[in-house]
Chain A
Protein backbone atom coordinates (compact mmCIF):
# COMPACT_ATOMS: atom_id res chain seq x y z
CA UNK A 1 0.00 0.00 0.00
CA UNK A 2 2.75 2.54 0.77
CA UNK A 3 4.22 1.66 -2.63
CA UNK A 4 0.87 2.42 -4.27
CA UNK A 5 0.67 5.79 -2.54
CA UNK A 6 4.28 6.53 -3.51
CA UNK A 7 3.36 5.96 -7.14
CA UNK A 8 0.34 8.24 -6.83
CA UNK A 9 2.48 10.90 -5.15
CA UNK A 10 5.15 10.68 -7.85
CA UNK A 11 2.58 11.00 -10.63
CA UNK A 12 0.95 14.00 -8.96
CA UNK A 13 4.38 15.58 -8.51
CA UNK A 14 5.14 15.00 -12.19
CA UNK A 15 1.90 16.67 -13.30
CA UNK A 16 2.24 19.62 -10.93
CA UNK A 17 5.86 20.13 -11.97
CA UNK A 18 4.90 20.11 -15.62
CA UNK A 19 2.06 22.55 -14.85
CA UNK A 20 4.40 24.82 -12.88
CA UNK A 21 6.57 25.15 -15.98
CA UNK A 22 3.80 26.08 -18.41
CA UNK A 23 1.05 27.31 -16.05
CA UNK A 24 -1.39 26.54 -18.87
CA UNK A 25 -4.25 25.32 -16.71
CA UNK A 26 -3.84 27.80 -13.85
CA UNK A 27 -3.54 30.95 -15.93
CA UNK A 28 -6.32 30.14 -18.38
CA UNK A 29 -8.43 28.61 -15.61
CA UNK A 30 -8.42 31.72 -13.43
CA UNK A 31 -8.96 34.05 -16.37
CA UNK A 32 -11.78 31.91 -17.70
CA UNK A 33 -13.50 31.54 -14.31
CA UNK A 34 -13.47 35.31 -13.86
CA UNK A 35 -14.71 35.84 -17.39
CA UNK A 36 -17.67 33.54 -16.75
CA UNK A 37 -18.48 35.46 -13.56
CA UNK A 38 -18.52 38.71 -15.52
CA UNK A 39 -20.54 37.31 -18.42
CA UNK A 40 -23.14 35.83 -16.07
CA UNK A 41 -23.48 39.17 -14.36
CA UNK A 42 -24.64 40.63 -17.69
CA UNK A 43 -26.75 37.58 -18.50
CA UNK A 44 -28.85 37.75 -15.34
CA UNK A 45 -28.63 41.44 -14.41
CA UNK A 46 -27.93 40.91 -10.76
CA UNK A 47 -29.64 43.13 -8.21
CA UNK A 48 -29.48 43.28 -4.43
CA UNK A 49 -32.81 41.43 -4.10
CA UNK A 50 -31.83 38.26 -6.03
CA UNK A 51 -28.13 38.01 -5.22
CA UNK A 52 -28.44 35.30 -2.57
CA UNK A 53 -30.58 33.10 -4.81
CA UNK A 54 -28.41 33.45 -7.90
CA UNK A 55 -24.83 33.92 -6.68
CA UNK A 56 -24.15 30.28 -5.62
CA UNK A 57 -25.22 29.02 -9.02
CA UNK A 58 -23.09 31.62 -10.76
CA UNK A 59 -20.07 30.61 -8.70
CA UNK A 60 -20.47 26.92 -9.52
CA UNK A 61 -21.10 27.50 -13.22
CA UNK A 62 -17.79 29.36 -13.39
CA UNK A 63 -15.99 26.63 -11.41
CA UNK A 64 -17.42 23.85 -13.55
CA UNK A 65 -16.70 25.56 -16.87
CA UNK A 66 -13.14 26.33 -15.81
CA UNK A 67 -12.75 22.82 -14.37
CA UNK A 68 -13.96 21.23 -17.61
CA UNK A 69 -11.29 23.09 -19.57
CA UNK A 70 -8.60 22.02 -17.12
CA UNK A 71 -9.62 18.40 -16.88
CA UNK A 72 -9.80 18.06 -20.65
CA UNK A 73 -6.29 19.47 -20.89
CA UNK A 74 -4.87 16.87 -18.50
CA UNK A 75 -5.32 13.99 -20.94
CA UNK A 76 -5.22 15.98 -24.16
CA UNK A 77 -1.72 17.23 -23.31
CA UNK A 78 -0.54 13.69 -22.54
CA UNK A 79 -1.98 12.47 -25.85
CA UNK A 80 -0.44 15.28 -27.88
CA UNK A 81 3.02 14.79 -26.41
CA UNK A 82 2.72 11.02 -26.66
CA UNK A 83 3.56 10.72 -22.98
CA UNK A 84 0.42 8.79 -22.08
CA UNK A 85 1.71 5.63 -23.77
CA UNK A 86 4.82 5.94 -21.63
CA UNK A 87 2.66 6.22 -18.54
CA UNK A 88 0.73 3.10 -19.55
CA UNK A 89 3.94 1.17 -20.23
CA UNK A 90 5.25 1.91 -16.75
CA UNK A 91 4.89 -1.08 -14.41
CA UNK A 92 2.32 0.63 -12.19
CA UNK A 93 -1.29 0.05 -11.24
CA UNK A 94 -3.77 1.77 -13.57
CA UNK A 95 -5.75 2.78 -10.49
CA UNK A 96 -2.75 4.82 -9.35
CA UNK A 97 -2.84 6.76 -12.63
CA UNK A 98 -6.52 7.47 -12.08
CA UNK A 99 -6.11 8.65 -8.48
CA UNK A 100 -3.10 10.77 -9.42
CA UNK A 101 -5.04 12.49 -12.19
CA UNK A 102 -7.95 13.11 -9.82
CA UNK A 103 -5.62 14.53 -7.16
CA UNK A 104 -3.81 16.76 -9.64
CA UNK A 105 -7.07 18.10 -10.97
CA UNK A 106 -8.44 18.73 -7.48
CA UNK A 107 -5.25 20.67 -6.67
CA UNK A 108 -5.29 22.76 -9.85
CA UNK A 109 -9.03 23.39 -9.78
CA UNK A 110 -8.75 24.20 -6.08
CA UNK A 111 -6.14 26.89 -6.75
CA UNK A 112 -8.32 28.39 -9.51
CA UNK A 113 -11.30 28.39 -7.10
CA UNK A 114 -9.34 29.93 -4.22
CA UNK A 115 -8.17 32.76 -6.46
CA UNK A 116 -11.64 33.32 -7.93
CA UNK A 117 -13.62 33.17 -4.68
CA UNK A 118 -12.51 36.51 -3.12
CA UNK A 119 -12.93 38.27 -6.46
CA UNK A 120 -16.39 36.71 -6.78
CA UNK A 121 -17.26 37.91 -3.26
CA UNK A 122 -16.23 41.45 -4.21
CA UNK A 123 -17.92 41.49 -7.62
CA UNK A 124 -21.21 40.01 -6.36
CA UNK A 125 -21.05 41.71 -2.96
CA UNK A 126 -21.63 38.58 -0.87
CA UNK A 127 -19.93 37.51 2.35
CA UNK A 128 -20.50 33.77 2.74
CA UNK A 129 -19.71 31.68 5.81
CA UNK A 130 -16.16 30.83 4.74
CA UNK A 131 -15.78 27.45 6.43
CA UNK A 132 -18.94 26.01 4.86
CA UNK A 133 -18.18 27.55 1.48
CA UNK A 134 -14.65 26.20 1.42
CA UNK A 135 -15.89 22.75 2.49
CA UNK A 136 -18.47 22.77 -0.30
CA UNK A 137 -15.77 23.81 -2.78
CA UNK A 138 -13.40 21.05 -1.65
CA UNK A 139 -16.03 18.30 -1.69
CA UNK A 140 -17.69 19.49 -4.89
CA UNK A 141 -14.33 19.65 -6.65
CA UNK A 142 -13.46 16.10 -5.58
CA UNK A 143 -16.79 14.80 -6.92
CA UNK A 144 -16.40 16.77 -10.14
CA UNK A 145 -12.86 15.50 -10.70
CA UNK A 146 -13.78 11.89 -9.90
CA UNK A 147 -16.14 11.58 -12.86
CA UNK A 148 -14.35 14.26 -14.87
CA UNK A 149 -11.08 12.32 -14.94
CA UNK A 150 -12.82 9.19 -16.20
CA UNK A 151 -14.76 11.02 -18.90
CA UNK A 152 -11.76 13.12 -19.95
CA UNK A 153 -9.73 9.93 -20.47
CA UNK A 154 -12.50 8.69 -22.77
CA UNK A 155 -13.03 11.99 -24.56
CA UNK A 156 -9.30 12.40 -25.26
CA UNK A 157 -9.53 9.55 -27.80
CA UNK A 158 -12.62 10.71 -29.66
CA UNK A 159 -13.06 12.95 -32.64
CA UNK A 160 -13.93 16.48 -31.51
CA UNK A 161 -12.87 15.64 -27.95
CA UNK A 162 -13.42 19.12 -26.56
CA UNK A 163 -17.06 18.78 -27.64
CA UNK A 164 -17.55 15.25 -26.28
CA UNK A 165 -16.21 16.05 -22.80
CA UNK A 166 -18.94 18.41 -21.51
CA UNK A 167 -21.64 16.45 -23.32
CA UNK A 168 -20.76 13.26 -21.45
CA UNK A 169 -19.68 14.91 -18.23
CA UNK A 170 -22.42 17.39 -17.32
CA UNK A 171 -25.35 14.92 -17.04
CA UNK A 172 -23.27 12.67 -14.78
CA UNK A 173 -22.33 15.62 -12.56
CA UNK A 174 -25.92 16.58 -11.72
CA UNK A 175 -25.85 15.20 -8.14
CA UNK A 176 -22.55 16.92 -7.37
CA UNK A 177 -23.77 20.21 -8.81
CA UNK A 178 -27.06 20.12 -6.88
CA UNK A 179 -25.42 19.33 -3.55
CA UNK A 180 -22.57 21.82 -4.05
CA UNK A 181 -24.88 24.66 -5.02
CA UNK A 182 -27.28 23.90 -2.15
CA UNK A 183 -24.45 23.78 0.39
CA UNK A 184 -22.95 27.00 -0.93
CA UNK A 185 -26.36 28.71 -1.02
CA UNK A 186 -26.94 27.80 2.61
CA UNK A 187 -23.51 29.18 3.47
CA UNK A 188 -24.32 32.45 1.71
CA UNK A 189 -27.80 32.83 3.14
CA UNK A 190 -29.05 33.32 6.66
CA UNK A 191 -29.12 29.61 7.54
CA UNK A 192 -25.48 28.57 7.62
CA UNK A 193 -26.26 25.37 9.53
CA UNK A 194 -28.40 24.16 6.61
CA UNK A 195 -25.30 23.48 4.56
CA UNK A 196 -24.28 20.58 6.81
CA UNK A 197 -26.72 17.95 5.39
CA UNK A 198 -25.67 18.88 1.85
CA UNK A 199 -22.01 18.61 2.80
CA UNK A 200 -22.61 15.16 4.26
CA UNK A 201 -24.43 14.21 1.07
CA UNK A 202 -21.45 15.46 -0.95
CA UNK A 203 -19.14 13.19 1.05
CA UNK A 204 -21.39 10.25 0.13
CA UNK A 205 -21.47 11.23 -3.56
CA UNK A 206 -17.69 11.66 -3.59
CA UNK A 207 -17.12 8.19 -2.15
CA UNK A 208 -19.52 6.57 -4.61
CA UNK A 209 -18.24 8.45 -7.67
CA UNK A 210 -14.56 7.90 -6.88
CA UNK A 211 -15.17 4.19 -6.22
CA UNK A 212 -17.22 3.62 -9.40
CA UNK A 213 -14.80 5.55 -11.62
CA UNK A 214 -11.77 3.88 -10.03
CA UNK A 215 -13.22 0.44 -10.81
CA UNK A 216 -13.91 1.09 -14.51
CA UNK A 217 -10.90 3.31 -15.27
CA UNK A 218 -8.66 0.39 -16.23
CA UNK A 219 -11.04 -0.51 -19.06
CA UNK A 220 -10.70 2.98 -20.49
CA UNK A 221 -6.91 3.01 -20.65
CA UNK A 222 -6.16 -0.56 -21.69
CA UNK A 223 -4.39 -0.44 -25.07
Chain B
Protein backbone atom coordinates (compact mmCIF):
# COMPACT_ATOMS: atom_id res chain seq x y z
CA UNK B 1 0.00 0.00 0.00
CA UNK B 2 1.24 3.47 -0.89
CA UNK B 3 1.65 5.90 2.01
CA UNK B 4 -0.02 9.08 0.81
CA UNK B 5 0.10 12.61 2.25
CA UNK B 6 -3.26 12.03 3.95
CA UNK B 7 -1.87 9.06 5.89
CA UNK B 8 1.18 11.09 6.95
CA UNK B 9 -1.00 14.02 8.02
CA UNK B 10 -3.27 11.67 10.00
CA UNK B 11 -0.30 10.11 11.76
CA UNK B 12 1.18 13.51 12.65
CA UNK B 13 -2.16 14.85 13.87
CA UNK B 14 -2.73 11.71 15.95
CA UNK B 15 0.68 12.12 17.59
CA UNK B 16 -0.10 15.76 18.34
CA UNK B 17 -3.53 14.79 19.70
CA UNK B 18 -1.99 12.17 22.00
CA UNK B 19 0.54 14.70 23.26
CA UNK B 20 -2.16 17.30 23.82
CA UNK B 21 -4.51 14.89 25.56
CA UNK B 22 -1.97 13.15 27.79
CA UNK B 23 0.69 15.82 28.52
CA UNK B 24 -0.35 19.31 27.44
CA UNK B 25 -3.91 19.48 28.78
CA UNK B 26 -4.13 20.22 32.51
CA UNK B 27 -5.49 17.57 34.88
CA UNK B 28 -9.12 18.19 35.70
CA UNK B 29 -9.49 19.13 39.37
CA UNK B 30 -12.49 17.00 40.30
CA UNK B 31 -12.31 14.05 37.91
CA UNK B 32 -8.52 13.71 37.72
CA UNK B 33 -6.78 11.94 34.84
CA UNK B 34 -9.95 10.01 33.97
CA UNK B 35 -11.24 13.18 32.34
CA UNK B 36 -8.57 12.82 29.61
CA UNK B 37 -10.72 10.17 27.94
CA UNK B 38 -12.85 13.16 26.93
CA UNK B 39 -10.24 14.04 24.26
CA UNK B 40 -10.87 10.82 22.37
CA UNK B 41 -14.49 10.20 23.37
CA UNK B 42 -15.88 13.50 22.08
CA UNK B 43 -13.96 13.60 18.74
CA UNK B 44 -15.05 10.04 17.97
CA UNK B 45 -18.65 10.85 18.83
CA UNK B 46 -18.58 13.89 16.53
CA UNK B 47 -17.06 11.83 13.76
CA UNK B 48 -19.59 9.05 14.22
CA UNK B 49 -22.38 11.57 13.69
CA UNK B 50 -20.46 13.02 10.73
CA UNK B 51 -20.12 9.50 9.30
CA UNK B 52 -23.84 8.80 9.55
CA UNK B 53 -24.63 12.20 8.09
CA UNK B 54 -22.39 11.30 5.13
CA UNK B 55 -24.31 8.00 4.82
CA UNK B 56 -27.55 10.00 4.75
CA UNK B 57 -26.32 12.43 2.08
CA UNK B 58 -24.86 9.63 -0.06
CA UNK B 59 -28.11 7.67 0.26
CA UNK B 60 -30.15 10.62 -0.97
CA UNK B 61 -27.75 11.25 -3.86
CA UNK B 62 -27.71 7.54 -4.73
CA UNK B 63 -31.50 7.33 -4.99
CA UNK B 64 -31.45 10.48 -7.10
CA UNK B 65 -28.47 9.88 -9.44
CA UNK B 66 -27.95 6.10 -9.14
CA UNK B 67 -24.15 6.16 -9.21
CA UNK B 68 -22.68 3.10 -7.49
CA UNK B 69 -19.81 5.32 -6.33
CA UNK B 70 -22.20 7.06 -3.91
CA UNK B 71 -23.36 3.72 -2.64
CA UNK B 72 -19.79 2.57 -2.02
CA UNK B 73 -19.06 5.81 -0.18
CA UNK B 74 -22.19 5.37 1.99
CA UNK B 75 -21.11 1.85 2.85
CA UNK B 76 -17.54 2.87 3.70
CA UNK B 77 -18.76 5.73 5.86
CA UNK B 78 -21.28 3.50 7.67
CA UNK B 79 -18.56 0.98 8.50
CA UNK B 80 -16.18 3.60 9.88
CA UNK B 81 -19.06 5.29 11.73
CA UNK B 82 -20.01 2.00 13.32
CA UNK B 83 -16.43 1.44 14.53
CA UNK B 84 -16.37 4.95 16.01
CA UNK B 85 -19.78 4.45 17.67
CA UNK B 86 -18.55 1.19 19.20
CA UNK B 87 -15.48 2.96 20.59
CA UNK B 88 -17.61 5.87 21.84
CA UNK B 89 -19.77 3.43 23.80
CA UNK B 90 -16.71 1.65 25.23
CA UNK B 91 -14.74 4.78 26.17
CA UNK B 92 -17.90 6.30 27.63
CA UNK B 93 -18.38 3.25 29.84
CA UNK B 94 -14.74 3.38 30.96
CA UNK B 95 -15.24 7.01 32.00
CA UNK B 96 -18.64 6.45 33.58
CA UNK B 97 -17.46 3.66 35.89
CA UNK B 98 -15.23 5.87 38.12
CA UNK B 99 -17.24 9.09 37.67
CA UNK B 100 -20.86 7.91 37.84
CA UNK B 101 -20.05 4.68 39.67
CA UNK B 102 -21.73 2.62 36.95
CA UNK B 103 -20.71 1.33 33.52
CA UNK B 104 -23.98 2.23 31.92
CA UNK B 105 -27.04 4.35 32.54
CA UNK B 106 -30.16 4.68 30.41
CA UNK B 107 -29.55 8.35 29.84
CA UNK B 108 -30.74 10.11 26.67
CA UNK B 109 -27.38 10.47 24.93
CA UNK B 110 -26.17 7.00 25.87
CA UNK B 111 -29.40 5.37 24.83
CA UNK B 112 -29.48 7.25 21.51
CA UNK B 113 -25.90 6.19 20.75
CA UNK B 114 -26.75 2.58 21.50
CA UNK B 115 -29.86 2.66 19.29
CA UNK B 116 -27.78 4.36 16.59
CA UNK B 117 -25.32 1.48 16.86
CA UNK B 118 -28.15 -1.02 16.34
CA UNK B 119 -29.53 0.89 13.34
CA UNK B 120 -26.20 0.79 11.51
CA UNK B 121 -25.47 -2.81 12.49
CA UNK B 122 -28.81 -3.58 10.83
CA UNK B 123 -27.83 -1.38 7.87
CA UNK B 124 -24.61 -3.34 7.26
CA UNK B 125 -26.23 -6.73 7.84
CA UNK B 126 -28.96 -5.78 5.37
CA UNK B 127 -26.35 -5.01 2.72
CA UNK B 128 -24.88 -8.45 3.23
CA UNK B 129 -28.18 -10.28 2.93
CA UNK B 130 -29.37 -9.01 -0.47
CA UNK B 131 -27.84 -10.84 -3.42
CA UNK B 132 -28.45 -8.26 -6.15
CA UNK B 133 -26.05 -5.32 -5.73
CA UNK B 134 -28.37 -2.66 -7.19
CA UNK B 135 -31.19 -3.79 -4.97
CA UNK B 136 -28.90 -3.94 -1.93
CA UNK B 137 -27.78 -0.38 -2.68
CA UNK B 138 -31.38 0.82 -2.98
CA UNK B 139 -32.53 -0.84 0.25
CA UNK B 140 -29.46 0.38 2.10
CA UNK B 141 -30.12 3.93 0.88
CA UNK B 142 -33.69 3.78 2.20
CA UNK B 143 -32.51 2.54 5.60
CA UNK B 144 -29.69 5.11 5.56
CA UNK B 145 -32.26 7.87 5.09
CA UNK B 146 -35.00 6.65 7.44
CA UNK B 147 -32.45 5.66 10.09
CA UNK B 148 -30.84 9.09 10.09
CA UNK B 149 -34.15 10.95 10.05
CA UNK B 150 -35.26 8.82 13.00
CA UNK B 151 -32.22 9.71 15.13
CA UNK B 152 -33.42 13.14 16.35
CA UNK B 153 -36.86 11.65 17.02
CA UNK B 154 -35.31 8.82 19.02
CA UNK B 155 -33.10 11.28 20.89
CA UNK B 156 -35.98 13.58 21.78
CA UNK B 157 -38.17 10.69 22.90
CA UNK B 158 -35.42 9.39 25.16
CA UNK B 159 -34.79 12.90 26.54
CA UNK B 160 -38.42 13.05 27.63
CA UNK B 161 -38.01 9.57 29.00
CA UNK B 162 -35.02 10.58 31.19
CA UNK B 163 -31.65 12.42 31.16
CA UNK B 164 -28.31 12.17 33.07
CA UNK B 165 -25.38 12.68 30.62
CA UNK B 166 -23.25 15.77 31.41
CA UNK B 167 -24.52 18.81 29.55
CA UNK B 168 -22.43 19.86 26.54
CA UNK B 169 -19.38 21.76 27.81
CA UNK B 170 -18.10 23.02 24.45
CA UNK B 171 -21.31 24.06 22.73
CA UNK B 172 -22.79 25.26 26.01
CA UNK B 173 -24.84 28.46 25.93
CA UNK B 174 -22.60 31.38 27.00
CA UNK B 175 -19.36 29.97 25.59
CA UNK B 176 -17.25 26.91 26.38
CA UNK B 177 -17.08 26.03 30.08
CA UNK B 178 -13.42 24.96 30.12
CA UNK B 179 -9.95 26.54 30.09
CA UNK B 180 -8.39 27.40 26.68
CA UNK B 181 -5.69 24.71 27.00
CA UNK B 182 -8.35 22.01 27.30
CA UNK B 183 -10.27 23.47 24.41
CA UNK B 184 -7.12 23.53 22.28
CA UNK B 185 -6.38 19.88 23.11
CA UNK B 186 -9.92 18.97 22.13
CA UNK B 187 -9.62 20.91 18.87
CA UNK B 188 -6.38 19.11 17.98
CA UNK B 189 -8.05 15.79 18.77
CA UNK B 190 -11.05 16.59 16.64
CA UNK B 191 -8.83 17.47 13.68
CA UNK B 192 -6.83 14.26 14.17
CA UNK B 193 -9.90 12.04 14.39
CA UNK B 194 -11.56 13.74 11.44
CA UNK B 195 -8.42 13.07 9.37
CA UNK B 196 -8.51 9.48 10.59
CA UNK B 197 -12.15 9.23 9.53
CA UNK B 198 -11.43 10.60 6.04
CA UNK B 199 -8.41 8.35 5.64
CA UNK B 200 -10.26 5.20 6.74
CA UNK B 201 -13.26 5.98 4.54
CA UNK B 202 -10.98 6.56 1.56
CA UNK B 203 -9.23 3.28 2.20
CA UNK B 204 -12.54 1.41 2.40
CA UNK B 205 -13.88 3.21 -0.66
CA UNK B 206 -10.84 2.22 -2.72
CA UNK B 207 -11.24 -1.41 -1.66
CA UNK B 208 -14.93 -1.31 -2.51
CA UNK B 209 -14.34 0.26 -5.94
CA UNK B 210 -11.60 -2.27 -6.68
CA UNK B 211 -13.98 -5.06 -5.76
CA UNK B 212 -16.67 -3.67 -8.07
CA UNK B 213 -14.13 -3.44 -10.88
CA UNK B 214 -12.98 -7.04 -10.37
CA UNK B 215 -16.59 -8.21 -10.39
CA UNK B 216 -17.26 -6.40 -13.67
CA UNK B 217 -14.05 -7.72 -15.25
CA UNK B 218 -15.00 -11.26 -14.23
CA UNK B 219 -18.42 -10.80 -15.75
CA UNK B 220 -16.91 -9.47 -18.99
CA UNK B 221 -14.44 -12.36 -19.04
CA UNK B 222 -17.22 -14.91 -18.51
CA UNK B 223 -19.19 -13.37 -21.36
CA UNK B 224 -16.13 -13.31 -23.64
CA UNK B 225 -15.26 -16.95 -23.05
CA UNK B 226 -18.84 -18.22 -23.16
User: Is B177 an interface position by the 8 A CB rule?
Assistant: no
A residues 148-189 with Cβ under 8 Å of B?
150, 154, 157-160, 164, 167-168, 170-172, 174-175, 178-179, 182
User: Is A31 an interface position by the 8 A CB rule?
Assistant: no
The size of the chain B interface, using a CB distance under 8 A, is 29
Main secondary structure of the interface of A (DSSP, over half): helix
Tell whether, in the assembled complex, residue A164 and residue B129 are in contact, meaning their CB atoms are under 8 Å apart.
yes
Q: Which residues of B contact A160 (CB under 8 A)?
A: 129
User: Is B158 an interface position by the 8 A CB rule?
Assistant: yes
- Contact of A164 (CB < 8 Å), options: B115, B126, B147: B126
List A residues at the B interface (Cβ < 8 Å): 147, 150, 154, 157-160, 164, 167-168, 170-172, 174-175, 178-179, 182, 201, 205, 208-209, 212-213, 216, 219-220, 222
Tell whether, in the assembled complex, residue B146 and residue A150 are in contact, meaning their CB atoms are under 8 Å apart.
yes
User: Is B202 an interface position by the 8 A CB rule?
Assistant: no
Alpha-carbon distance A175/B146, docked complex (angstroms): 13
A-B contact pairs, 25 of them (CB 8 A): A147-B146, A154-B142, A157-B130, A157-B139, A158-B139, A159-B129, A160-B129, A164-B125, A164-B126, A164-B129, A170-B118, A171-B115, A171-B119, A172-B146, A172-B147, A172-B150, A174-B157, A174-B158, A175-B153, A175-B157, A201-B157, A201-B160, A205-B157, A219-B141, A220-B139
Alpha-carbon distance A160/B131, docked complex (angstroms): 12
Min distance, Cβ A52 to any Cβ of chain B, angstroms: 17
Min distance, Cβ A207 to any Cβ of chain B, angstroms: 11
Min distance, Cβ A99 to any Cβ of chain B, angstroms: 17
Alpha-carbon distance A159/B136, docked complex (angstroms): 11
Tell whether, in the assembled complex, residue A158 and residue B142 are in contact, meaning their CB atoms are under 8 Å apart.
no
Alpha-carbon distance A125/B200, docked complex (angstroms): 56
Tell whether, in the assembled complex, residue A168 and residue B122 are in contact, meaning their CB atoms are under 8 Å apart.
yes
Alpha-carbon distance A144/B121, docked complex (angstroms): 20
List B residues at the A interface (Cβ < 8 Å): 63, 115, 118-119, 121-122, 125-126, 129-131, 135, 138-139, 141-143, 145-147, 149-150, 153-154, 156-158, 160-161
Q: Which residues of A contact B135 (CB under 8 A)?
A: 157
Q: If the complex has contacts A158-B130, A216-B145, are A222 and B158 also in contact, measured as CB distance less than 8 A? A: no
Q: Which chain A residue shows the least CB distance to B119?
A: A171
Alpha-carbon distance A212/B129, docked complex (angstroms): 24
Q: If the complex has contacts A208-B153, A219-B63, are A172 and B142 also in contact, measured as CB distance less than 8 A? A: no
Q: How many pairs of A and B residues are in contact by the CB < 8 Å rule? A: 77
Tell whether, in the assembled complex, residue B157 and residue A168 are in contact, meaning their CB atoms are under 8 Å apart.
no
Q: Which residues of A contact B153 (CB under 8 A)?
A: 175, 205, 208-209
Tell whether, in the assembled complex, residue B130 and residue A213 are in contact, meaning their CB atoms are under 8 Å apart.
no
Q: If the complex has contacts A158-B126, A216-B142, A216-B146, are A171 and B157 also in contact, measured as CB distance less than 8 A? A: no
Which 6 pairs from chain A and chain B are nearest by CB?
A175-B157, A171-B118, A158-B129, A168-B122, A159-B129, A171-B119
Q: If the complex has contacts A168-B126, A174-B158, A175-B153, are A220 and B119 also in contact, measured as CB distance less than 8 A? A: no
Q: Which residues of A contact B131 (CB under 8 A)?
A: 159
Tell whether, in the assembled complex, residue A159 and residue B130 are in contact, meaning their CB atoms are under 8 Å apart.
yes
Q: If the complex has contacts A157-B135, A164-B129, A212-B149, are A179 and B157 also in contact, measured as CB distance less than 8 A? A: yes
Greatest chain B CB density within 10 A among A160, A174, A208 is at A174
Alpha-carbon distance A198/B141, docked complex (angstroms): 31
Min distance, Cβ A145 to any Cβ of chain B, angstroms: 14
Alpha-carbon distance A77/B164, docked complex (angstroms): 45
Tell whether, in the assembled complex, residue B142 and residue A219 are in contact, meaning their CB atoms are under 8 Å apart.
yes
Alpha-carbon distance A164/B121, docked complex (angstroms): 11
Q: Which chain B residue shows the least CB distance to A217?
A: B142
Alpha-carbon distance A137/B83, docked complex (angstroms): 37
Tell whether, in the assembled complex, residue A222 and residue B122 are in contact, meaning their CB atoms are under 8 Å apart.
no
Given contacts A172-B147, A178-B158, 7 further A-B contacts (CB under 8 A): A150-B142, A154-B142, A157-B139, A158-B130, A164-B126, A212-B146, A219-B141
Q: Which residues of A contact B160 (CB under 8 A)?
A: 178, 201
Alpha-carbon distance A178/B130, docked complex (angstroms): 31
